[in-house]
Amino acid sequence: MFVLSFVFQVYGQEAREDVVFAGRNFTWGMNMGSYDLAILLRENGTFCESLDAPDWQNKVEGKYRKVKDGILLDYMDNTMENDTIFIEKDSSDGYEDIRYGGAQMIKMHLPNTIPEGYYEHKSASSSGGMGTGMVYVGTQQYDGIHFYADGTFDRNASGGVVLSGSDIGGGTSSDKAASGTYTIDKGLLTMVSNDGEVAKNSFFYSEPDDDGTVTVAMNGAIFFSEGSENGTSQIMVKENKNTTNLTFPDVEAEDKDLLRKIKLAHGGSAVDSIVTVEAIMETSGIAFKVRLDLKRKFLRLESLSPTFRYIEQLEDESGWIYQDEQIQEMPENRVAEVRNTFYSGLFLLQTPILDRIKVVDVRDNGKGFKVLKLNLDGNISGMVMDSGNNRLVGTAKFNALGNEITYLSDFREVNGILVPFREEVETDEQNVLIQNNSYTINPIWDSHAWERPD
């Protein structure tokens, strides 16, 4: 049964209130990625999707009306096809499923106040290493705002260790901070910094979910209130609600056999022999050494540049970062991301993990490639397979902080394993090129290999 949580009527007739729907789209295929969506539906029957535009309050991009399946969007621009916001309500528990543009959407307020708290917009990218994402450079893009009940705010924006891109390059990092006052009126957020800079933004938020997490759409970008586990919001929680209990069709033997063909193309049983890895790679003119211990779940990324000292080390379920001659604890969400290294790329083809993978879907793009959608213990990822030689030529990862696709090339044999020496990583925030100069499979390190710097 399809129902609406508020009243929508035909053109020219009033609805009860203005409302915003917002969410994050996850796509997969040869062009994998994600983007945030937000749309304002006004009570006068008009709508606006350009919520980052200066005139978003009055901008009209079309009209909407109620239809059987939800809400029909009729665009004023004749070059755009009409679209539908699909709304379905589960009669058993009252859960309302809202879908638009391939995204799981949630309803948001047009507020006159902001719940006091800290709101974060995070993205992270990884790159390098056998299609595993084991190097993790170009990471920790971050924007955080603390809104106080007295009408003041503090804002921090950080670039982490970005080794590529126009804003930050050459292995440096940047941090921007601002404080000031704010006002908000029907979703129009005006922020006045102490230096006199004035910024006007659209700002909407959801009701807290069961864990107390509030999801925010600011200028169309998704923020999460502090305390959301790894950036998880209602968007992801509700998405999981719809997929956790799904019964995937039995995997055809030939579909699972595609993974075995990929494994065979990359060395077969030799892939199972990988226990430790050391690699030297270069990006943006900076060389890094990477050490990886699969059994202990240890990973170390260390800059080899004398002018840029940086070390990031995962130690199973914790870790630390050395930068600017200081050591800090690795954030929990970062730990979770780096640990994902051990469950991606060629490592997915090692027998214990391969046995647990479900092939959810397989698509042939008609150009000689097959795209596999995989489910490992509830985590969705993707692989791109060259149908001609069965090589793994692309991987994809999806998470609440953002997605990435890695294109693999320049394959060379190392200890009987076919390894990509060139990787091109595309993320929501940036693109990164990695050139791997050398690989050592199963090296033995001395006791100082994992020490902290003095």
Give the phi and the psi of residue 439 in degrees, each rounded to 5. Answer: -130, 140
End-to-end CA distance of the chain: 64
Calculate mean pLDDT across residues 365-371: 83
- 432-450: pLDDT as tens digits: 788 899 999 999 999 899 9
Torsion sign across C-alpha atoms 28, 277, 431, 104: positive
Structure-model confidence comparison of residues 210 and 436, the more confident one: 436
- The whole-number pLDDT of residue 176 equals 59
Tens-place pLDDT, residues 172-208: 344 557 899 999 999 999 999 999 999 999 999 998 8
The C-alpha angle with vertex 205 and arms to 46 and 70, in degrees rounded to 5, equals 45
Closest CA relative to residue 102, chosen from 33, 40, 48? 33
Spell out a b/e string for 61-88, using b for 16 or more CB atoms within 10 Å of the CB, else e. bbbbebeeebbbbeeeeeeeeebbbebe
Rounded Cα gap, residues 93 and 433, in angstroms: 48
Residue 283 confidence (pLDDT): 81
Domain residue spans of the chain: 19-108, 253-441
pLDDT at position 319: 94
Mean pLDDT (the chain) is 79
Q: Which two tokens stand for residue 362?
A: 């397989």
253-441 CATH fold: outer membrane lipoprotein receptor (LolB), chain A (2.50.20)
The pTM (predicted TM-score) of the whole model is 0.55
**Cβ(349)–Cβ(266) below 8 Å:** yes
Which of 129, 150, 3 has its CA nearest to residue 66? 3
Taking a C-beta distance cutoff of 8 angstroms, is the pair 45, 63 a contact?
A: yes
Give pLDDT tens digits for 62-96.
Answer: 999 999 888 999 999 998 889 999 888 766 666 67
Say which range, 136-150, 354-368, 385-399, 436-450, has the weakest mean pLDDT: 136-150
